[in-house]
Chains A and B, each alone.
Chain A
Amino acid sequence: MALLERNEWYDIARDTNWTPTYVSQENLFPPTMSDPYQIPIDEWETFDEPYKVSFREYVRTQREKDGSAYSVKAALSRSRFYDQACEGWASVLKLHYGTVALTEYQACQFQARMVRFGPSPSMRNMATFGMLDEMRHAQLQLFFPHELVHRDRQYDWAHEAAHTNNWAVIGGRHAMDDIMMCRDAVTGSLMVSFAFETGLTNLQMIGLSTDAANMGDFTFSNLITSIQSDEARHAQLGTPTIEIMVRNGYKEDAQKILDIAFWRVWRLFSVSVGIPMDYYIPLEQRHMSFKEFMHEWVNRQYVRQVEDLGLAKPWYWQHFLDDIENHHHCQQGGIWSWRPTVWWNPPGAVGPKERQWLEKKYPGWNDSYGTYWDVITENLLADREEKTHPECVPIICNMCQIPISNRPGKAWKARPYQFEHEGRRYNFCTEPCRWIFTTDPNRYKDHETIVDRMYSGEIQPPDLDGVLKYMGIGVVSEGGRDGYNYQWIEGFRSAAAE
């Protein structure tokens, strides 16, 4: 029997709305889980997803994608690529898998909330595919690093990280719990599908895939491309939702929702993408700086998209532009200095040639971040490795959970942005992080950073070993060390000898 064309049956099959008689509409779609703005249901029925797919088409396409990804993995597992890959690239993989694999599973649960509580039948239909996408992404990104665990136990963090209280994991969890796990379907679709996926991660996948290909890691490149093609589809859930909110008088709410989520994700994105691009990937294989990537792939596109929808770029745009040139450099220093607290081996990778490149890409780098690395380099050249390990901790932002840092050297920009609420003092890294807290203090007020936990008695014993164990270091795997065993200082040693 001949099949009908998709467009002949799609709308009627998709529009599974009905008038409930056994329960009220409000009980079927509780506002706190579905639509707190209470936009009329006939408005939601105008939701038209830009990309349409049937289940039959979906399964066929996904099967092909999986077949391709797994066959490349099988071929590369027979090669010695990962035995020979540099530790810089291994750090990219360990950081990526540890922070992303089970976040995909969280995303699966979020999509499931839209499947159940999305006020539009189209949203529910499209989120069904999104839910299956995210499940596939979690499976792929757990299975691929599992292949590597026998070579290096740190790859086990792909599965274990989300179950630990590592400070970096707490940062990711705080943001993802905020935008994905604890939001209604409508707000979440803006935060996740638009700000997170359309704004940042879809593009992250493109950059990361290119880097992987340049490194010769075709398994990872193929994996990322496969995931990105799903993201590009289900990320489109946000746009029709914004259009409906704006049309129904909720423009200010939509703007605030996007501004909160974009900043939250940006702070993580800058660390997980910016540091690998500008420090972990060997100089010869870097295809562009993080700053160039952001300007070419993210900034213009995001602004154009929000303006096309009748919204404005975030109020903190100047802070954001400055952060592109600053945040990941600070955190590269911090992560390297406190390297025993992470599950990868971050390379310092600021030898003479790398510093020339950084100065060219980020004019003024040497006068600022360079002063920080000067002290570290001098210590290493003088065999004072112990002086490269600080004996205190940095204060952590009560929103992004990342060390409060800013330009070092003469600029001396690091400062906490404090806020008192109900007798408790909170520390924030930036104005936008503090602003997010003030938008809904009750939502955030009870959370404790890893530093707060040191002083609240939660971490016992409250010493270095106690903190490391609390974070899963020495439990899941050993903590980090310099990825290149300090080889990057040899250029300075040679120069000094000459």
Chain B
Amino acid sequence: MDKFPILSRFQYDCHVKVVETDVGETITQLAMNCASHSIGIHVKDQPGKVLRVRKTSDTDDQPPLRGDITVGEAGLIMYDCVDVYFSDPES
């Protein structure tokens, strides 16, 4: 499947990074994909936390996307930006 770039706005990172994804990748896989370019590179890991993904907005208040849906189902297209952030597992 053709890959396309989305923008990873990873919590605590300094840069917005270009991450290649495809429409069949799940949101959980996308979170791990983005994490591989930030955690241990420019961002410390947060043991015990889980990663969640939401569409980037001016007010940072978009709901998290479900982990089991795909990038295509979430409607993400080229150069869409997502926030990837640490969260408590229960929340």
Contacts and interface: CB of A to CB of B under 8 A. Distances in A.
Interface stretch (A8-16, A343-351, A402-410): A402-410
B12 A412 contact: yes
A429 to B, nearest CB: 9
A115 B28 CA distance: 62
B18 interface: yes
Interface of B: 4-5, 7-9, 11-20, 36-37, 40-44, 56, 78-79, 81
A403 B37 contact: no
A405 B11 contact: no
Interface in A370-428: 371-372, 374-376, 379, 387-388, 390-395, 403-410, 412, 414-416, 418, 425, 427
Given A379-B40, A409-B12, 15 more contacts: A330-B14, A374-B44, A387-B41, A394-B16, A395-B18, A403-B15, A403-B16, A405-B14, A410-B12, A414-B16, A415-B56, A416-B7, A416-B9, A416-B16, A451-B5
A314 interface: no
A375 B7 contact: no
Of B15, B78, B79, B81, chain A has the most CB atoms within 10 Å of the CB of B15
Contact of A375 (B8, B9, B44, B78): B44
19 contacts: A330-B14, A333-B14, A337-B41, A371-B12, A372-B14, A387-B41, A390-B41, A391-B36, A391-B37, A394-B15, A395-B17, A407-B14, A409-B12, A414-B13, A414-B15, A416-B7, A416-B81, A455-B5, A455-B78
A334 interface: yes
Given A333-B42, A375-B42, A455-B78, A405 B15 contact: yes
Contacts of A388: 41
Shortest Cβ-Cβ A-B pairs, 5 listed = A408-B14, A394-B15, A392-B37, A404-B16, A405-B15
A206 B14 CA distance: 31
A196 interface: no
B45 to A, nearest CB: 9
Contacts of B43: 371-372, 375, 408
A369 interface: yes
A375 B41 contact: yes
Contacts of A371: 12, 43-44
A408 B18 contact: no
Nearest to A415: B9
Nearest to B13: A408
Nearest to B40: A387
B13 to A, nearest CB: 6
Nearest to A373: B42
Interface in A353-373: 369, 371-372
A405 to B, nearest CB: 5
A334 B79 contact: no
Nearest to A368: B14
Contacts of B4: 455
A425 B78 CA distance: 9
Contacts of B5: 451, 455
Contact of A392 (B18, B78, B81): B18
A283 to B, nearest CB: 23
B7 A408 contact: no
Contacts of A416: 7, 9, 16, 56, 81
B18 A451 contact: yes
A352 B44 CA distance: 19
B37 A390 contact: yes
